[in-house]
Structure 1
Amino acid sequence: MQVVNYTEFRNNLAENLNMVNDNSEVVIVSRSKGKNVVVMSLEEYNSIQETLHLVSSKANQKRLDEAIEEMRSGKSAKHKLIED
Structure 2
Amino acid sequence: MKAINFSKVRNNLKNYCDTAIDENEEIIVTRKDERNVVILSLEKYNQLLKDIHNAKYLAKLDLAYEQMLAGKVKTHDLIEVDDD
The TM-score with structure 1 as length reference comes to 0.66
Describe the shift of the 1:60–1:52 C-alpha distance in structure 2 as closer, same or farther (beyond 3 A).
farther
Instruction: State the alpha-carbon separation in 2 of the partners of residues 43 and 61 from structure 1.
Output: 30
Describe the shift of the 1:35–1:54 C-alpha distance in structure 2 as closer, same or farther (beyond 3 A).
same
- Measured on the aligned residues, the alpha-carbon RMSD in Å equals 2.0
Structure 1, unaligned runs of 5 or more:
63-84
Instruction: State the alpha-carbon separation in 1 of the partners of residues 18 and 63 from structure 2.
Output: 35
Partner of 2:43: 43
Structure 2, unaligned runs of 5 or more:
65-84
Instruction: Tell me the percent identity.
Output: 34
- Counterparts of 1:1-84 in structure 2, within 5 Å, are 1-33=1-33, 35-56=35-56, 57-59=59-61
The TM-score with structure 2 as length reference comes to 0.66
Deviation beyond 2 Å, 4+ runs, structure 1:
none
Instruction: State the alpha-carbon separation in 2 of the partners of residues 61 and 54 from structure 1.
Output: 14
Describe the shift of the 1:58–1:42 C-alpha distance in structure 2 as closer, same or farther (beyond 3 A).
same
SS of match in other structure, 1:25? coil
Q: How big is the shift at 1:55?
A: 1.2
